Amino acid sequence: MNPMIVEGQVHGGVGQGIGQALLENTSYDENGQLLTASYMDYAMPRADDVPFYTVDHSCVTPCTHNPLGVKGCGEAGAIGSPPAVVNAVIDALHRGGHTHVKHIDMPVSPARVWSAING
> What single-letter DSSP state applies at residue 36?
-
Cα–Cα dist 119/113, whole Å: 10
Q: What is the chain's mean pLDDT, rounded?
A: 91
Q: Tell me the pTM.
A: 0.82
Residues in the chain predicted with pLDDT less than 70, given as ranges, are: none
Which among 51, 86, 60 has a CA at the least distance from the CA of 6? 60
Q: What is the pLDDT of residue 31?
A: 97
Query: Domain spans of the chain?
Result: 3-117
> 3-117, what's its fold?
Aldehyde Oxidoreductase; domain 4 (3.30.365)
- Say whether the peptide bond before residue 110 is cis (omega within 30 degrees of 0): no
